[in-house]
Structure 1
Amino acid sequence: MARTDQTEIPVRIIIENPVAGVLHSLQSGDTGVLDPKRSEAGEPLVFDLPVRVAPGPKFFGDQVRREGPTRRFVYIRIGTMAGDPSSEWTRRMKIDVHDIPQDLLDCAMAGAGVVELTVNGTGKDGTLACATVKVVGRRVV
């Protein structure tokens, strides 16, 4: 798909209730760490990234990963994977972007704001959320 057919939109991932003290980062490419940060007392972590959207919709970008013909997602690296070699954790969150509603995409492509995706950073067992995490909030701000 030609880049001229793609519109860049801002996307913000908010991780609510992260486990305090554990490093998180966006994954850039297959292995790179981007924008590492940690919550000191359980306050939300915020990651901003550009995503390119083409008709379909189809999703592209340095942080956008693919699985199959339609699934697109962003990885959040955790613990050692986020660059903290002393961490007891080695995990990743997989946050789907391919299912962002078209009305939100249209707003963002028109310049009306940032697509905000919210996930819970703590699993049901009280440890770090990992693997595919459910997006609990989607909006344009």
Structure 2
Amino acid sequence: MAAGQVVTLRLRIRDPLPGVAYSLQNKRSEPVGQVTAGDGPISFDVPVRIAPGPRFYGDFVRSEGATRRFVYIAIGGQAGQRPSAWSRRAKIDIHGLSAELLEEALAGGVLAAELPGRAEDGGPACATVRPIGAWQVVE
């Protein structure tokens, strides 16, 4: 895997809360690509630069400590929706993606994860949100 290659991560929220805005959040904590949820799933395509290791970089890649890398999905007020009953973020970890899976995606696909949209309190899923099933390469 050469430094600087770009893989696209597709984050698909299975059951978002209708009427609530969702967006990616860049490194400056600004909402990017706001979408207001309807009755079906929504998704975001996130370009991520990768380097051997693998290591992850890009406008949407956030870090915590030496190894944790993740992407934020902003919700409600965090996504720029005013007024909103919700102001949350979903943290999707990417540091555990294997080099083999990344190489497969680089060969001609998108690396996709399906995410739950609802938390136990009935509101939007937030904090660390784990994919439903495994990450998969899709065309």
Aligned-residue Cα RMSD (Å) equals: 1.2
Residues 39-81 of structure 1: CA distance to partner in whole angstroms, max 9, x if unpaired?
Answer: 212x111101110111011000100000011110000001011
Is residue 124 of structure 2 the alignment partner of residue 116 of structure 1? no
After TM superposition, what 4+ stretches of structure 1 lie above 3 angstroms from structure 2?
none
Residues 80-119 of structure 1: CA distance to partner in whole angstroms, max 9, x if unpaired?
Answer: 1101111011100000111123221011122x20000111
Is residue 20 of structure 2 the alignment partner of residue 45 of structure 1? no
Q: Distance in 2 between matches of 1:50 and 1:98?
A: 15
1:81-120 equivalences in 2 (<5 Å): 81-110=78-107, 112-120=108-116
CA contact (8 A) 2:53 2:99 kept: no
TM-score (norm 1): 0.91
Percent identical pairs in the alignment equals 45
Is residue 57 of structure 2 the alignment partner of residue 64 of structure 1? no
TM-score (norm 2): 0.92
Is residue 123 of structure 2 the alignment partner of residue 127 of structure 1? yes
- Counterpart code for 2:99: Q
- Counterpart code for 2:110: V
| Alpha-carbon offset, residue 20 of structure 1 | 1.0
User: What is the aligned length?
Assistant: 136
* Structure 1 SS opposite 2:66: coil
Structure 1 unaligned segments of length 5 or more: list them.
Answer: none
